[in-house]
Amino acid sequence: MLDNEEYELEPLLLSDQPATSNKHIVTKQKKGFPKCIFFILGNEFCERYSYYGMRTILVLYLKYYLHWDEDTATAVYHAFTVLAYLFPIFGAIVADSWWGKYNTILYLSIVYSLGMILNMLGAIGTLGNLTVHAVLSSMGLLVIAFGTGGIKPCVSAFGGDQFDEDQDQYRRSFFSLFYFAINAGSLVSTFVSPIIRDEVTCFGDDCYALAFGIPAALMVIAIFSFFMGTKFYYRQPPTGNIFFEVPKAMYRALSARWNAPVKDKKHWMDYALETTDAKLVRDIKYVLRIVVLYIPLPLFWTLFDQQGSRWTLQAVRMDGYVGSLRVLPDQMQICNPLMIVTLIPLFEVTLYPCLRHFKINFTPLRRMTLGMLLAGLAFIVAALVQMMIDENLTIVPETNGQTSLRVINSARCDISLNIDLDNWALDEETGSGGGIVIGPSNFTNTKEDIIHPQPFIAMYECVDNSNKKGIVSEPLYGREAMDLIISDNGNTLKSFYSPHHTEKSDSGKAFVRIVNAANFPIYIGSQTIEVNSSLYLPEEHRGGHPSIHCRYEIDIIVDDGISNQTYSFSYEVFTGALYTYVFREDPQTDYELDMYTDVYRNDVNIFWMIPQYFIITLGEVFLSVTGLEFSYSQAPPSMKSILQSLWLLTVSIGNIIVLIVAEAKLIPNQADEYFLFAGLIGVAAILFVVLSMRYEYVDESEFYEAEEDGVHLEEDGFNGGVIEDKKRRLSELSDLEIKNGGVNGVTNGGFEHNTAI
């Protein structure tokens, strides 16, 4: 039977051989709690702050700073996650085979910090154009994924190495502290990073550079903290890696079966018995039974990991105010870790004891099935919330094949308007101070190839007897919403042509643009707005809340060549809306400030997202936590590391699915996409039920009895059948750290998990 220390560390590293060398090993502290542990805990807190502080704001950075569309931002976010969960395999192999855990952590942490610095440099506005920023950020994300993935399987295992076999209680305390460090770092950064991004301004915009710079600095501190304990650490040397042996054994089995004249074996792995250790063959057969159950699991991570991408972008379109409290869109991600650390202990003292009391056999596979169904339900709720948002959602150009044109009449007369664009024409009338919005749907129906500038001709004239008229030819651009503002110019009419914003603020603030349609400059504070130009008002003139109208007073100084006069106007804004205010001359009141809504306000409160977060967190409790417990209790000790790698692989595959769907752009409506994912995981859950019905539970004692008595294998490699309500040996499996894309550290019936949020 394996001791606690060996079992705890195997799932994290791929090594299964005992240490064979004592070279460069520092002797373990024999008494008391190892002081070097606090260097490891400090390292973990800073590293988790660094990682989640960066990832929390990543999708908004890609969309609002690099100006990538939502699908591209989503795809890049999930591509980063894919790599972050592929590289742990590399890190474990390197640590076990060549560098050892200490060197792997130290060297790859340095790589990690360089990636953070590259990402920060990409957010500094003065360093080149958007292409330079995109290249630096992309390189940074790749390096970060390599670094964080490489150290992921090593840190907690290295901490466990510092304890002797008779220090079980101290080791348990370490994993509790380690769990606390993970949660503290991730929770604090998830809350703080969005505030820094939103409240601090640098280079004339939200300060992503500082929001990325602080995690970069914390990563440097993490390296320093880890290095400070160097002379105190016990360092186990590299011991070889079973990860290479398993595919070799499987290849030999397949080759032997292919060449066998008679296929008389019950299992295809039995063909490797002549050239491979019988115990290894038996253990691989156990693993293959579990791996079959993993086939539908990527769909769960497909849904789960969209909390940081699609759901964050959904929150941008919602009202984050409750009274004076404002929740930023990216701060909503904190719901999952907060709920998980509450629900798991709560279930341990309420739900699970209650089920046991009433003798309800809530088996691990049934829990995992429920977890998948709950994830689907969460996306149905997300789709319903999206439909609420869409009821008042402004339709704006979103592809290169879409454009929009708004004609605003700021002349002193009603005008007639004729617009001609190839085979498309419009004849309309609009009163003074009125407007006509054309597109984007009008253009996509008739002009789907608007990628390069397409010219249109607009002819306009007053409908009174003044004979004022004008004509203009301007280009239409894909993905742009354009304004054609018509105003007086003595005895004729003139026009002013410019784009307006269509993207909501990533903080929920309103955008207000002032357009000067008069024939002389106007002044707002120290800002000058020339004739036929516009100005977006600074931060102090933006804000708003749907239930509390935010009114602002603005003084406009008119320089008409005769005298400078100040006119006061009031305007109101709402959360998330975009406005254009046109200053024009008026025959009755001298001057007017006409309001036009570019994008409607956020009228659905962000707290409507709490049910979907709650439901998917329930799904995580039942699938992620239970699935890892099930996998390790059903696998032989030598194969637990292999299963750990395959579990992480399901996370990567799940994120690849999101990446494909986002880049394919087959479903333009977000609510329909949520329904699609809910349907897909429903199918996956049905497949999982079918596979589960064929599975026979194995008593863990089989593994240990085989090791104690010698490996005695029947042809099929299994000594037991279905075991109902088996008593798990969880007292022997405590303090196990498991890395997944879910929560940090939980206690499930005595089985402790320390997993990354």
Show the 3-state SS of 398-411.
CCCCCCEEEEEECC
Distance CA 160, CA 178 (A): 10
Residues whose CB falls within 8 Å of the CB of residue 283, separated by 6 or more in sequence, listed in order: 635, 636, 638, 639
More confident residue, 144 or 477: 144
Residue-by-residue DSSP string for 462-525:
ESSTT--EEEEEEEE-TT-EEEEEEEEETTEEEEEEEE---SPPTTS--EEEEEE-SSS-EEET
Bigger pLDDT: 273 vs 423: 273
Over residues 403-459, the pLDDT tens digits come to 778 888 888 888 888 877 654 555 555 555 555 655 443 333 333 344 445 677 888
Reference 406, options 670, 669, 594; nearest CA is 594
Assess whether pLDDT exceeds 80 at residue 331: yes
Please say whether the beta carbons of 106 and 227 come within 8 A: yes
Percent of the chain at pLDDT above 70?
Answer: 81
Contact 95, 87 (CB under 8 A): no
Q: So what's the pLDDT on residue 706? A: 55
pLDDT of residue 610: 96
Least confident residue range of 462-466, 538-542, 596-600, 666-670: 538-542
Q: Rounded to an integer, what distance in angstroms lies between the CA atom of residue 294 and that of residue 351?
A: 26
Q: Report the C-alpha gap between 397 and 389 in whole angstroms.
A: 17
pLDDT of residue 565: 82
CA 644, CA 659: separation in Å to the nearest integer?
Answer: 23
pLDDT above 60 (res 631): yes
Asked whether the predicted pLDDT for residue 707 surpasses 70, the reply is no
Residue 280 tokens, joined: 């290894």
User: Quick one: pLDDT at residue 703?
Assistant: 67
C-alpha closest to that of 51 among 145, 177, 181: 145
Judge contact between 626 and 363, C-beta under 8 A.
no
- Phi and psi at 724, nearest 5°, equal -90, 140
Rounded CA gap, 537 and 510, in Å?
Answer: 10
At residue 435, the pLDDT reads 57
Q: What is the pLDDT of residue 749?
A: 31
Q: Is the dihedral of CA 673, 674, 675, 680 positive or negative?
A: positive
Q: For residues 300 and 292, give the distance between their C-alpha atoms in angstroms, rounded to a whole number.
A: 16
Q: What is the mean pLDDT of residues 37-50?
A: 93
**Cβ–Cβ under 8 Å, residues 236 and 161:** yes
- Per-residue pLDDT, averaged over 694-709, amounts to 69
Q: Which of 117-121, 433-437, 518-522 is least confident? A: 433-437
Check residue 4 and give its pLDDT: 33
The per-residue pLDDT for 376 is 97
**Average of per-residue pLDDT across 58-80:** 93
| Average pLDDT value over all residues in the chain | 80
Stretch 7-36: mean pLDDT: 50
φ, ψ of residue 507 in degrees (nearest 5): -115, -5
Q: What is the pLDDT of residue 60?
A: 94
pLDDT of residue 611: 96
If one compares 670 and 554, the residue with the highest pLDDT of the two is: 670
Q: Is 61 in a helix, a strand, or coil?
A: helix
Whether 189 shows a pLDDT value over 70: the answer reads yes
Q: What is the DSSP letter of 733?
A: S
Identify the band that residue 397 occupies on the pLDDT scale cut at 50, 70 and 90: confident
Residue 288 has pLDDT above 60, yes or no: yes
Q: 148 pLDDT exceeds 70? A: yes
At residue 630, the pLDDT reads 82
The pLDDT of 202-210, averaged and rounded, is 85
Quick one: pLDDT at residue 362? 86
Neighbours of 737 (CB within 10 A): 25
Give pLDDT, residue 636: 81
Tokens coding 325 = 């409290």
Residue type, 92: A
- Where on the phi/psi map is residue 555: left (φ > 0), alpha (ψ -120 to 50), or beta? beta
- Asked if the model's pLDDT at residue 3 lies above 70, the reply is no
What is the C-alpha to C-alpha distance for residues 404 and 394, in angstroms, rounded to an integer? 12
Give the residue among 42, 403, 422, 15 at the shortest CA–CA distance from 236: 15
* Percent of residues, the chain, with pLDDT higher than 90: 32
Q: Which of 313, 321, 684 is nearest to 506 (CA)?
A: 313
Among 202-216, 394-408, 532-546, which stretch is predicted with the lowest mean pLDDT? 532-546
Give mean pLDDT, residues 379-394. Answer: 92
In angstroms, the Cα distances linking 618 to 348, 390, 538, 629 are 13, 27, 43, 16
Can you tell me the mean pLDDT for 109-113? 96
Give the model's confidence band at 2: pLDDT under 50 very low, under 70 low, under 90 confident, else very high. very low
Return the amino acid letter for 264.
Answer: D
Report how far residue 422's alpha carbon sits from residue 449's, in angstroms, rounded to the nearest whole number: 12
156-173 residue pLDDT tens: 888 888 888 777 778 778
In this predicted structure, the answer to whether residue 687 has a pLDDT above a threshold of 60 is: yes
Note the pLDDT of residue 78. Answer: 95
Task: Name the pLDDT band for 756 (thresholds 50, 70, 90).
Answer: very low
Contact residues for 538 (Cβ-Cβ < 8 A; gap 6+)? none
Does pLDDT of 359 surpass 60? Answer: yes
| pLDDT, greater one: 26 or 617 | 617
Q: Which of 89-98, 324-333, 592-601, 637-646 comes out lowest in average pLDDT?
A: 637-646
Q: pLDDT higher for 252 or 13?
A: 252
Across 18-47, average pLDDT: 70
Which structure tokens are listed for 225?
A: 């903290």
Least confident range from 16-25, 110-119, 596-605: namely: 16-25
Please tell me the predicted confidence (pLDDT) of residue 340: 82
Of 8-17, 156-165, 627-636, minimum mean pLDDT range: 8-17
For residue 357, what is the enclosing H or E element? Answer: helix 351-357
- Is pLDDT above 90 for 502? no
Q: Which is higher by pLDDT, 27 or 628?
A: 628
Cα radius of gyration rounded to whole Å, the chain:
31
Strands (E), 525-682: 527-529, 533-536, 550-559, 564-573, 578-586, 590-599
pLDDT confidence band for 739 (50 / 70 / 90): very low
Q: Mean of the pLDDT values across residues 595-623?
A: 91
Report how far residue 95's alpha carbon sits from residue 55's, in angstroms, rounded to the nearest whole number: 26
Q: Locate 756 and state its tokens.
A: 């990354």
Residue 304: both structure tokens together = 């789960």
Q: Is the dihedral of CA 274, 276, 282, 287 positive or negative?
A: negative
pLDDT of residue 509: 79
**Cα(399)–Cα(448) distance, integer angstroms:** 10
Q: Of 411, 395, 392, 391, nearest to 403 (Cα)?
A: 395
State whether residue 204 is helix, strand or coil. Answer: coil
CA-closest candidate to residue 440, choices 387, 472, 477: 477
Residue-level pLDDT at 664 = 84
pLDDT for res 705: 58
Read off the tokens for 140: 């940074």
